[in-house]
Chain A
């Protein structure tokens, strides 16, 4: 993996100066490279990973398994695009195995998510069935531990 991408993947807030030092490149080279990645879509976005449980936001997340029947004029791609269009939908993945799409949906309450699934998702023409799994607790996400604060357990030798 490219060193620069790896550093950004881990911490997108490193400054150009720090990135340049850490990779042995000039700041201009780093800036050009990042520009290019942004233009070509290699880098899609920079977001903070927030532990919402520590805020007063009321929310609930569900993973939804979706089985669909692709039609001549609506293949997987088209269905995915349609589903991704809902603002409640955080992620959409085409899956191997027993179902076709895995979808991450966030809402304010269980009921809100349930309503979204039954009213908006399940009613789509190509959707055959849905199975909704609510997330109870997030322990780790994007390589970051949410369960505990990271502690240095090393002995001071």
Chain B
């Protein structure tokens, strides 16, 4: 059969994740020291695992309601209220999903109609543009720059808006740059959006991982933004629960009703055991989050300082667990740099271009690794840079 003809052309035209490609290269070599993984190196805190185990022992292995257990939705609403002063009705404005990723997909498919434009600040996580395109929309990249600390600015947003603009993605704290949007920056964006019908998907999966004095502010907290925002978050990053596959979306009821239909038909319900564990995480997990955040912060300081000392300029990331150093001094492209670094020094990092064309000239380096591991990688990168000095 000629599958090319049979397959959905939009899907066929979609490229697989550029992060993945690099991993396969790294996996074929020995003695590779990787700084590629975007997930916590901690295991899920024990009391959270135990909560999951307890329900397994009691045989609680059935489907949950489509939107998730109401106890969990209540816990999510309570958390969002205490951390961000956000108000969501647990029964109609919260849907528990299979990771933040599903929540992103649902939001796109609920809002984007054929031809609608979806604004995607870039560089950013790999899924937004493909999912927007698959939903029938047109992804429009908005370049963010190192000199703006990789923030979305009012001016670049304004310039990108057309009558077809349906949805703006706000991926902050940002993967891969580590950039964050503080309250004043969000206010600027809100000012541009007021009076328009543009909806916002605010992906706040890294909300608990910001460093420095100020804590994360949700876009939905900004005056007048709640009604246009779908807040997406989850348990993976804050509670080291990646493998449990649990996230959520919160937003105005009319949108959530549509998202729930998609979820109902496509997924049924998020994993039951994970939901029980997540209730424990939200109820008794604050100390764990604080502990892990402090650990990441120490490593963040070490790795930023390390890159600067070996002569690679590195923007000071204030969120997530990545640094985004520039390869400019080598004159190599991101891709070449990564390939040569891997082959010559056996260090794996991800080229910035995996996160959008404007990631050219940068690397995404994860610091979800032990201090020793980070030190060894920096040493090897230092040796690699020798010939460019």
Residues of A within 8 A of B (CB): 3, 7, 11, 14, 18, 21-24, 152, 154-157
7 tightest Cβ-Cβ pairs between the two chains A and B: A156-B23, A22-B298, A21-B305, A21-B301, A22-B301, A154-B37, A22-B302
A-B contact pairs, 18 of them (CB 8 A): A3-B298, A18-B371, A18-B375, A21-B302, A22-B301, A22-B302, A23-B301, A24-B301, A152-B34, A152-B37, A155-B37, A156-B26, A156-B27, A156-B34, A157-B20, A157-B37, A157-B38, A157-B39
A23: chain B residues within 8 A (beta carbon): 298, 301
In whole angstroms, what is the CA distance A152 to B373 when docked?
11
B372: chain A residues within 8 A (beta carbon): 11
B294: chain A residues within 8 A (beta carbon): 3
B34: chain A residues within 8 A (beta carbon): 152, 156
Q: How far is the CB of B45 from chain A (nearest CB, A)?
A: 16
The closest CB in chain A to the CB of B368 belongs to A154
Contact B302 A18 (CB under 8 A): yes
Contact A156 B36 (CB under 8 A): yes
B23, B27, B38, B371: most-surrounded residue (chain A CB, <10 A): B371
The closest CB in chain B to the CB of A24 belongs to B301
State whether the Cβ of B19 lies closer than 8 Å to any Cβ in chain A: yes
Contact B302 A152 (CB under 8 A): no
In whole angstroms, what is the CA distance A18 to B306 when docked?
9
Residue pairs across A and B with CB atoms within 8 Å: the count is 39
Residues of B within 8 A of A (CB): 19-20, 23, 26-27, 34, 36-39, 41, 294, 298-299, 301-302, 305, 371-372, 375
Q: How far is the CB of A131 from chain B (nearest CB, A)?
A: 32
Contact A14 B36 (CB under 8 A): no
Q: How far is the CB of A81 from chain B (nearest CB, A)?
A: 37
Add 17 more A-B contacts to A11-B371, A156-B23, A156-B27 (CB < 8 A): A3-B294, A7-B298, A18-B371, A18-B375, A21-B301, A22-B298, A22-B299, A22-B301, A22-B302, A152-B34, A154-B39, A154-B41, A157-B19, A157-B20, A157-B23, A157-B37, A157-B38
In whole angstroms, what is the CA distance A22 to B294 when docked?
10
Q: How far is the CB of B23 from chain A (nearest CB, A)?
A: 4
In whole angstroms, what is the CA distance A23 to B297 when docked?
9
In whole angstroms, what is the CA distance A24 to B304 when docked?
12
B20: chain A residues within 8 A (beta carbon): 157
In whole angstroms, what is the CA distance A157 to B34 when docked?
12
The closest CB in chain A to the CB of B20 belongs to A157
Contact B302 A156 (CB under 8 A): no
B19: chain A residues within 8 A (beta carbon): 157
In whole angstroms, what is the CA distance A11 to B20 when docked?
33
In whole angstroms, what is the CA distance A3 to B41 when docked?
19
The closest CB in chain B to the CB of A150 belongs to B370
B298, B302, B371: most-surrounded residue (chain A CB, <10 A): B298
The closest CB in chain A to the CB of B295 belongs to A6
B38: chain A residues within 8 A (beta carbon): 157
The closest CB in chain A to the CB of B37 belongs to A154
B37: chain A residues within 8 A (beta carbon): 152, 154-157
Q: How far is the CB of A151 from chain B (nearest CB, A)?
A: 12
A21: chain B residues within 8 A (beta carbon): 301-302, 305
In whole angstroms, what is the CA distance A3 to B302 when docked?
14
In whole angstroms, what is the CA distance A38 to B147 when docked?
44
Q: How far is the CB of B215 from chain A (nearest CB, A)?
A: 17
Q: How far is the CB of B126 from chain A (nearest CB, A)?
A: 10
A21, A152, A156: most-surrounded residue (chain B CB, <10 A): A156
In whole angstroms, what is the CA distance A154 to B371 when docked?
17
In whole angstroms, what is the CA distance A154 to B40 when docked?
9
In whole angstroms, what is the CA distance A156 to B20 when docked?
8
Q: How far is the CB of A145 from chain B (nearest CB, A)?
A: 13
In whole angstroms, what is the CA distance A152 to B39 when docked?
12
In whole angstroms, what is the CA distance A11 to B295 when docked?
13
The closest CB in chain A to the CB of B372 belongs to A11
A157: chain B residues within 8 A (beta carbon): 19-20, 23, 37-39
In whole angstroms, what is the CA distance A3 to B38 when docked?
25
Residue from A11, A14, A152 in contact with B41 in the complex, judged by beta carbons closer than 8 Å = A152
In whole angstroms, what is the CA distance A16 to B196 when docked?
54
Q: How far is the CB of B17 from chain A (nearest CB, A)?
A: 8
B26: chain A residues within 8 A (beta carbon): 156
The closest CB in chain A to the CB of B299 belongs to A22
B36, B294, B299, B301: most-surrounded residue (chain A CB, <10 A): B301
Q: How far is the CB of B127 from chain A (nearest CB, A)?
A: 12
